[in-house]
Structure 1
Amino acid sequence: MPYQLREITQALAADPADFMAQCDQQYQQRVRKAAETILKRMKESPIVLLSGPSGSGKTTTALKLEEELERRGVSTHTISLDNYFKTMDRSTAPRTPEGDIDLESPQLLDMDLLDETFTKLTRGEEVIIPKFEFSRQMRNDARGRPLSLGPNEIAIFEGIHALNDDIAGRHPEATTLYISARANILDGEALRFKGTWMRITRRTVRDLNFRGTDMTTTLSMWHNVRRGEKRYISPFKNRAHIIIDSSLRYEVPLFANYAFALEAALKDLDPRNPRWKELHEMVASFRYFPTVDPALVPASSLIREFIGGGSYHYS
């Protein structure tokens, strides 16, 4: 369901802190409902697969699910599928149509190891969760950690390809979730901000704050990210038992604080980039929104995954 710009503006003018807290409470309620579904399906499988496109808030949502399940007495382990990347062989790595290594491709994951991991965990057997070192672009099995699941334990595996045929498709008994910022913002009937724009804004700010990637670089990759989503992620969302909308009504006013930085970054973006026009439209759309003080964002908010200063630890 879309949000209305007028309602957002009025709520922020009246009491921004209260409005933002309400938005986060509404998201927390979505997480609670998802946790209830997971509990109902525990007898089917102790494996939970959480997928969603870049910038959807998968990591924070997985941690929030872990909290909700722990409150209900279920011991929960959250594992990033990033650790199942294979050490890359550039000679055989999948390529984009432009000839670059396709970093969005599921072929980079060790599907056979994941299959074995799910099977053994379901049987109560011990597995070694691998560790992928991004600084060296290689999997370091020596840094892996053991894991086994007892009768009242769950493992949440989160990553963009979790619902892929070679992952969820091999284990249809697993509980599956799909998360994305799905709500557009309208001004009456006029579209002011797309849900997909929320995700690229989140990713651009996060990459700048925590991954040492300048905004121009992240924006320049967006066309390949979107292409990968359409090929490798979106086609499998109907496999999800649970679909969660991670958009928050106050987040565009929050990210409006970065509008000038984003505009400056676009000046260095190659005009031949397939998303050049759309990205300029996105940045121009921030003019419709008031700004809100980032200090008012609750510490436990999903948005803290992207701007920092939150209560969750992201390894």
Structure 2
Amino acid sequence: MAYQLQEINRRVRTDVTEFLAECDENYAQRVSLAADKILSNLERSPIVLLSGPSGSGKTTTAMKIAEELQRRGVNSRAVAMDNYFLTVNPQTAPRTPEGAIDYESPLCMDTELLGQHFTALSRGEEILIPRFEFARQMRNDSLGTPLRLEKNEIAIFEGIHALNDNIAGRHPEATKLYISARSNVNEGAALRFKGTWMRLTRRAVRDYSFRGQEVAQTLAMWANVRRGEKLYISPFKGKADIVFDSSLPYEVPVMKNYAVPILKSVPEDNERHDELLDLIASFEHFEAIDPALVAKDSLLREFIGGGSYKYH
């Protein structure tokens, strides 16, 4: 699916508040359809596996699905699969073609423990969700969180590798969801903004604002992130029961406020500077939207901050 630049700019100029509300409602409808599918499968399994590439909005979507299920009388627990990373062992860790540790690889995940936990939760047994300390690159089970599902409760396991055969294959009864920001923005037939640029922009803005990471660092990591997506994530999206797009037609006009200044700060000798110039030029096609107009529960708040959800 592609959005049309002319229509986006027209709505920004004429009815921006209604435009934002309409986009958020369309996303809420996708969340509702996902809840329908989860509930229809509840008798088979209380496990939901939610996958998607970096910057796709998995965390917010998982929380929104949990809210929708709660409205229907079904409690759900969101479980971040990042906590199932194995403690990094430089001797055995998977490597990129360049020789660095490949943190995008599913071999970094404790798939055996995940399989055990899927089975235990399905039987009504208690598990201890581990805690991975990223600062120390190690798992600390002493900080784990106990979890047992009561009748008609659901656990949503969210992570980039959730649909990988080594994970989803251990519990094929689970409901499987795949989320990505995939829509381009066109002007007629001409491409003005790539869908992959939406995810790169989301990540660059979030990393800069909340993780103390310069855009140049995000760009340096992005090539391996994209390589990992093509190898480890995208090949499994066909396993999903529901695939939906997390892009919002209003997000480029909002992100313009955040992204352009930090993108312009990247030194000219950066090896991806030509692509940066293309990206900066693409933003210029869009009318800007004041971020203050963005709803507090918008998915976009995961990346720009100021929202009603708490992110860890």
TM-score, length-scaled by structure 1? 0.96
* Secondary structure, counterpart of 1:48 in structure 2: strand
Q: CA RMSD in A?
A: 1.2
Partner of 2:167: 167
Contact 1:216 1:265 in 2 (8 A): no
Q: Counterparts of 1:1-315 in structure 2 under 5 Å?
A: 1-267=1-267, 270-271=270-271, 277-315=274-312
Which consecutive aligned stretches of 4+ in structure 1 deviate over 6 angstroms post-superposition?
A: none
CA-CA distance at 1:277 after TM superposition = 4.1
Q: Give 1:180's aligned amino acid.
A: S
Q: Give 2:304's aligned amino acid.
A: I
Q: Could you say if the C-alpha distance between residues 269 and 295 of structure 1 is closer, same or farther in structure 2, counting changes exceeding 3 Å?
A: farther
- Work out the number of aligned pairs and report it: 312
Unaligned runs of 5+ in 1: none
* Per-residue Cα deviation, 1:224-251 (whole angstroms, up to 9, x for no partner): 1100000000000000001110000000
1: CA distance, partners of 2:39 / 2:265: 45
* Per-residue Cα deviation, 1:69-94 (whole angstroms, up to 9, x for no partner): 01111110000000001110112111
CA-CA distance at 1:268 after TM superposition = 5.4
1: CA distance, partners of 2:280 / 2:157: 34
Stretch deviating more after TM superposition (288-297 or 60-69): 288-297
* Per-residue Cα deviation, 1:180-232 (whole angstroms, up to 9, x for no partner): 00111010000001111100000010111111111110012111110000000
1: CA distance, partners of 2:77 / 2:269: 40
CA-CA distance at 1:108 after TM superposition = 0.7
Contact 1:76 1:154 in 2 (8 A): yes
Q: Give 2:280's aligned amino acid.
A: V
1: CA distance, partners of 2:73 / 2:258: 41
* Per-residue Cα deviation, 1:275-297 (whole angstroms, up to 9, x for no partner): x5444322221111111111111
User: Percent of counterpart pairs with the same letter?
Assistant: 61
2: CA distance, partners of 1:166 / 1:293: 44
Q: Could you say if the C-alpha distance between residues 269 and 148 of structure 1 is closer, same or farther in structure 2, counting changes exceeding 3 Å?
A: farther
Contact 2:215 2:263 in 1 (8 A): no
1: CA distance, partners of 2:6 / 2:34: 30
Unaligned runs of 5+ in 2: none
* Secondary structure, counterpart of 2:270 in structure 1: coil
CA-CA distance at 1:264 after TM superposition = 2.3
1: CA distance, partners of 2:217 / 2:159: 22
CA-CA distance at 1:259 after TM superposition = 4.0
Q: Could you say if the C-alpha distance between residues 159 and 26 of structure 1 is closer, same or farther in structure 2, counting changes exceeding 3 Å?
A: same
2: CA distance, partners of 1:13 / 1:250: 12
* Secondary structure, counterpart of 1:172 in structure 2: coil
Stretch deviating more after TM superposition (10-19 or 297-306): 10-19
Q: Give 1:118's aligned amino acid.
A: F
